[in-house]
Structure 1
Amino acid sequence: MKAKDINRFETGALPSTAQSQTQGWDSSDAWSTCAKALRDHDETVIKDWKEEIDTLLVFAGLFSAILTAFNIESYQLLQADTGNAVVLLLSQISTQLDSFSVNAGFINSTQTRLGPASPFHASPSAVRINTFWFSGLVCSLMSASLGILVKQWLREYLGGASNISRESIRIRQYRYDGMIKWRVPEIIACLPILLQMALVLFFAGLLDLLWSLHPVVAAVITVIVAAAMAFTVVTTFLPPLFADCPYKSPQSWIICVLIQSIRRSIIVLASHCYSYFWQFGLDPFTSNIDISVKISDAVRAWLHPLFLSKPYTSWKEREMGHVGSLAPALDSSTLAGADAMFMDDAFLDAVIRPCMKDIELTSALRCLDRMVIRRAPGS
């Protein structure tokens, strides 16, 4: 490319169509490459989504079947037991027959008549158990229904994606913008959350039932369920707090977004308070001018980078923000780990040695030290 063409790019003045054709600026291949790259990216992402949805549908089906079996038994607790009424009536008849006495040709019964049956009221435990289990069943079925709908949406999104014309690229981008606008990724992220809610509701109803039956059995199951729930909660909250934590999930990302929103609100509030105090001369540190200036500078230095930082929109973007400062250490660990994984001299000469020339000296020395120690006899 000529220097004048570079200047045109820098100034935003692109050559005309006729000029581009005469100078070899044919962009059709570039658009085709762009279309193929976008199509491959979409197919990869949607394939991953479909595989995850298929797994969730299998779990939702099995879980709904199990929960339905429990609901068939539990809903009877909300109805009057007709078997008990029959037993009570037969007992009354038997008592009356035993109480018959014959006096002067008369047959009398000393047993009083059975009074009217009291209205049936379901126990509070039965109401809670059915509320938990039927709510869990609804959440599970909702997750399955949404999963089927999402798979239909994704199929329509890829419709006509085999074409690589300019028009197909525009249609693809139009669909992609619509998918982001109408929160399709967020809806997909809600599917496992619905199943987690259904599982929690099932455990709540199960523990309520067991505590009404036998305390020892209930105590043992409560400990097991509490341990499982504690593990789930801890692994959900760790990724938002530690960037290198691998326990990433949709529910963890929701918590990460909430933390970022709260952090951003606190920063904005602190910035407004700082501006208010120092704009109107309300110096909270008037007792000592030097200290107030130092504190002012410290607060400004703390707020400025935080205020300019933008919230992360994905796990990958968050990781990229942390990887930059760890690049030398990661380069060293990558090469040393590759050598430890393969332990191949040919791979060492052909791959690792050239790569070590591109990393910092301290990282290369650290990597070399680890490889020498690992390859030393008796290590």
Structure 2
Amino acid sequence: DYEQKYPQDAEGKGMDPNARVWRVYLDESGQFDLDMVEGIKDTVDVMLVSAGLFSAIVSTLVGQAYIGLQQDFTKVTVSVLLELVEIQRAIATQGPVESIPRSTLNLDSPSTASVNDRWVCGMWFTSLAISVSTALIAVLVKQWIQAYVAPTFGTPQAQTRVRHFRYMGIEEWHVPLIVGLLPTLLHLSLFLFLVGLVVLL
């Protein structure tokens, strides 16, 4: 009961900087903020760990899949070496070098990767970008929340104003909505990864 917790204000002093109304507001808003911040922190911590682990897995697979999009340099090397061996044989036997067929491989030609390989890489790169973005947004939210709960100083009225200013900032920037979208982003990333995996197999 706040009437017992805080002394009654003198007549005409109900809105002074140290008035009871500000102390009551700080107590009530403090409990509200504690509940809100704990819920956000729990969600963000889970999202950070999940996004970090998932990004590590996807980046490993993306690195391997990306190699498949590039020119097969082993094949190029073997082809060129075979051509060189044929040329050396022709020179050793004094045969015509012009009759040696040229390698059909062209280093400037585009990748010979299949459409499926391109789709897999595209989906996995998109999945990686979304999961890393999720982690980045989660870190930003943690910083916002850290700033939100930073201690305030001054009279109860001044502390109330600072708290209200911070709360309006959280609402204006739609932080609860952003926190609610983090799992959706991670699910989308996982979905794209799994679709890419199905296409690969």
TM-score range (shorter-chain normalised) is: 0.7 to 0.9
The residue number in structure 2 matching 1:18 is 11
Structure 2: how far apart are the matches of 1:29 and 1:110? Answer: 101
Equivalent residue, structure 1, for 2:101: 113
Over 3 Å counting, the alpha-carbon distance change for 1:206 and 1:164 in structure 2 is: farther
Aligned match of 2:156 in 161, 165, 173?
A: 165
Could you tell me the percent identity over the aligned residues?
Answer: 28
TM-score, with length taken from structure 2: 0.79
Letter in 2 for 1:146: I
Mapped contact 2:152–2:162 kept (Cα < 8 A): no
Count, aligned residues: 186
Which of 172, 188, 196 is residue 181 of structure 1 equivalent to?
172
Alignment correspondent of 2:3: none
Larger Cα Rg: Structure 1 or Structure 2?
Answer: 1
Distance change in 2, residues 1:29/1:88 (3 Å): same
1:191 maps to what in 2?
Answer: 182
Unpaired segments ≥5 residues, structure 2: 1-9
Structure 1 residue 153 corresponds to structure 2 residue 144: yes
1:112 Cα shift? Answer: 3.1
Query: Is contact 2:83-2:100 (8 Å) kept?
Result: no
Coordinate RMSD, CA, aligned: 2.9
**Equivalent AA in structure 2 for residue 82 of structure 1:** F
Whole-angstrom distance in 1 between the partners of 2:132 and 2:65: 19
CA distance in 2, matches of 1:55, 1:136: 18
* Equivalence for 1:141: 132
TM-score (norm 1): 0.44
Give the secondary-structure state (helix, strand or coil) at the position aligned to 2:151: coil
Indicate the residue corresponding to 1:35 in structure 2.
26
- The structural deviation recorded for 1:57 is 0.5
In the alignment, is residue 206 of structure 1 matched against residue 197 of structure 2? Answer: yes
Q: Return closer, same or farther for 1:42/1:144 CA change in 2, 3 Å cut-off.
A: same
Partner Cα distance (2:161, 2:92) in 1: 99
Residue-by-residue CA offset, 1:223-270 (whole Å, 9 max, x unaligned): xxxxxxxxxxxxxxxxxxxxxxxxxxxxxxxxxxxxxxxxxxxxxxxx
Query: How far, CA to CA, are the matches of 1:76 and 1:64 in structure 2?
Result: 18
- Kindly indicate whether structure 1 or structure 2 has the higher relative contact order, using CA contacts under 8 Å at least 6 residues apart: 2
Once the two structures are superposed, residues 147-190 of structure 1 have per-residue CA deviations (whole angstroms, 9 ceiling, x without a partner) of: 11111111111122577712211221222122212211111122
